[in-house]
Each structure stands twice: as structure tokens, then as C-alpha cells.
Amino acid sequence: MDSVAGKWALVTGASSGFGLEFATLLAQKGANLVLVARRKEPMERMAERLRRDHGIDIVVETLDLSETGAAARLKSRIDARLIHIDVLVNNAGYGLFGNFLDQSVEQLREMLQLNMLAVTELTHLFGREMANRGSGHILFIASLLGYQATPGYAAYAASKAYVLLLGEALNAELKPHGVVVTVLSPGPAATSFAAIASQRNTRMIRMLMMEPAPVVRLGIDSMLRRRSSVVAGLLNKIIVFGNRFTPRTLQRLIMQSAVGG
Ligand SMILES: NC(=O)c1ccc[n+]([C@@H]2O[C@H](COP(=O)([O-])OP(=O)(O)OC[C@H]3O[C@@H](n4cnc5c(N)ncnc54)[C@H](OP(=O)(O)O)[C@@H]3O)[C@@H](O)[C@H]2O)c1
């Protein structure tokens, strides 16, 4: 397994949910951290604890990654500190639940900018440097919903399909340059995700629900074992595997009923 000890890891969306767990696990493995999100306070609190417990260096950057040019601004701030990022965890993201036509174009644009364009730009900026150095790890967070169209989460699911396909393609493209790209696809997990998406928990969602810590552990382990793509949780894996034998119209009906869309 590869090691992150003494390296610099950048975690986006580090103020809650999976992001807090990614930061904690990477700190336990001895990585120095750059934490990014809009809310400073939860990141500062965690940074204080992790510095004390693990003796690592941590930089907290407050930034709205849905703003145009945010990725480049973040890169400049990190460059100014003479930090080289060895591990990029593209975690920041959120969903919009409900009827597509009830969602404003501005809401959709902001979500797609964060879920797809910020991920693309950060990967381009930091991936190039990693390729020049001949080493690096990039983790993408897609979703179970990225494996089929999902009415009720139409644009969000499509954004995660983009993340899934981009990450899997880049795994092959960047491998010869020494850069590992891994895609982690979680199903429903107990974070702020559902509340922010305005999604109520259906029976199916409750059945699939996982704690964030094992999902994050799987993602980091898979990345350090140089895997290209991994689905978290046995039931989620069965759903994804079952898609191979299910017509696409049926796949989306099943997922629509699962999310209550
Ligand atoms: N939990 C699930 O059920 C689930 C399932 C599949 C995939 N995922 C994916 O997992 C990732 C993490 O989500 P989570 O479940 O941990 O949800 P979460 O608890 O709501 O965390 C989302 C994180 O993204 C950050 N973020 C949101 N908008 C941002 C912006 N404009 N700029 C910078 N940071 C921003 C938030 O920080 P601030 O608000 O402080 O900016 C927060 O730290 C997302 O990509 C999500 O799509 C989640």
C-alpha cells in the first residue's frame, strides 16, 4: 500500500460529513493537510485537534468553490505557501432534490459548477504538477446515483455520472505519469447531505444508510492500493452489479422509487 506520511493532502469540503472523516483519517496516517470549505470555524476546530493529536501541519483555506475561478485562486494561495500537493481529495459537493423545473437555473448552475467544474479544474491544476513530479493520488467522490439516471435527482445524478466517468478515464490517462486516480461511489450516508438536498429518508434510503467513517476508510484504502473505482457497501455494490442485467428504463424507475422522486 502507498503511504501519505509527511505528504501534503488537500481535502475539499472539509467542514462537515465525509470531509471531516477524510481529514481525520489522513492525519492519522501522518499527512499534512490543506482544508477547504466556506465555513471556517468547524475546520479551525478540527485543525486544532489534529495538530495536537498528530503533530502535523494544517492550513485552513476558506473559499466558495462554486465561484468561477475559485480553483485557480486556491492553487495560487497554496503556491504562495510553497506547498506541493501530493494527495487531492475532491470531496466538496451537494445535491438538489425535487423536480428539475422547480429548481432555478442559478441553483443548478452553482451545483454543477461545484460538483463538476471545480473538480475538473482542481484535478487539472494539481494533476499536472503531480504528473510533472511523477507521483500523486487523486480521489473523486461520485455516488451510487451516478450509475443510472435518477428522477428526483436528475441534475445531481448526472453530475455524479460525470465525476465517475472522468475519474475512471483519468485513472488510465494519468497512470503512465505515476498519478493514481480513484473514484469512490458512496450510497446514502449519515452526513448533512440529505438535509441540504431537502430529501426525506425513504425506507430504501434508510436500508442503504451507512456511517461516513467506513465509507471514507474504503476510499482512502482503495486510493492507496491504486484501485480505479470502488462502490461503498454491499447493498450498493449489488445495485450497481444488478444494473448490468436491468434495462435502463427499469433502472431509473427503481432509483426513482428508492429516492422518492
Ligand atoms: N452523504 C451522502 O449520502 C452522499 C452519497 C453519495 C455521495 N456523496 C458526496 O459526498 C461528498 C461530501 O458530501 P457529504 O455527504 O459529506 O455532505 P456534507 O456533510 O453536506 O458536506 C459537504 C461539504 O462540501 C462543502 N461545500 C459545499 N458547498 C461548497 C462550496 N460552494 N465551496 C466549498 N465547499 C463547499 C461543505 O462545506 P461548507 O458548507 O462549509 O462550504 C461541506 O464541507 C459530496 O460530493 C456528495 O455529493 C454524499
pLDDT, tens digit, 9 for 90 and up, residues 215-237:
999 999 999 999 999 999 999 99
pLDDT in tens, 73-88: 999 999 999 999 999 9
If phi over 0 gives left and psi between -120 and 50 gives alpha, with beta otherwise, what is residue 136?
left
User: Which DSSP category does 118 fall into?
Assistant: I
Contact 9, 89 (CB under 8 A): yes
**Residue 173 half-sphere exposure, CB side, CA atoms within 13 Å?**
12
| CA–CA separation, 66 and 92 (whole Å) | 10
10, 38, 210: residue to mutate for ligand 1 pocket, most atoms within 8 A of CB: 38
> What is the pLDDT, as a whole number, of residue 171?
98
Percent of the chain clearing pLDDT 70 (strictly above): 100
pLDDT in tens, 238-247: 999 999 999 9
> What is the pLDDT, as a whole number, of residue 114?
98
Average pLDDT along the chain: 97
pLDDT in tens, 20-58: 999 999 999 999 999 999 999 999 999 999 999 999 999
The pTM of this model reads 0.98
Residue nearest atom 23 of ligand 1, based on CA coordinates: 13
Q: Reply yes or no on whether 156 is catalytic.
A: yes
pLDDT in tens, 74-123: 999 999 999 999 999 999 999 999 999 999 999 999 999 999 999 999 99
- pLDDT at residue 1 above 90? no
Q: What is the mean pLDDT of residues 1-12?
A: 96
| CA–CA separation, 196 and 253 (whole Å) | 24
Q: CB within 6 Å of ligand 1 — which residues? A: 13-19, 37-39, 64-66, 91-95, 114, 141, 143, 186, 188-189, 191-193, 196
Taking the centre of ligand 1 as the mean of its atom positions, its distance from the CA of residue 35, in whole angstroms, is: 13
Taking the centre of ligand 1 as the mean of its atom positions, its distance from the CA of residue 18, in whole angstroms, is: 7
Phi, psi for 19 (deg, rounded to 5) = -60, -45
Q: What is the mean pLDDT of residues 175-202?
A: 96
If phi over 0 gives left and psi between -120 and 50 gives alpha, with beta otherwise, what is residue 152?
left
Burial label for 103, CB within 10 Å (0-12, 13-18, 19+), is middle
Residue nearest atom 19 of ligand 1, based on CA coordinates: 17
| CA–CA separation, 192 and 224 (whole Å) | 27
Q: Is the torsion defined by CA of 140, 143, 149, 153 positive or negative? A: negative
10, 12, 18: residue to mutate for ligand 1 pocket, most atoms within 8 A of CB: 18
Q: How would residue 207 be classed by pLDDT, with cut points 50, 70 and 90?
A: very high
Taking the centre of ligand 1 as the mean of its atom positions, its distance from the CA of residue 15, in whole angstroms, is: 9
- pLDDT at residue 203 above 90? yes
- Give strand ranges (E) for the chain: 8-12, 32-37, 58-62, 87-90, 136-141, 179-185, 229-231
Nearest to 25 by CA among 230, 186, 215: 215
Taking the centre of ligand 1 as the mean of its atom positions, its distance from the CA of residue 245, in whole angstroms, is: 32
| CA–CA separation, 94 and 65 (whole Å) | 12
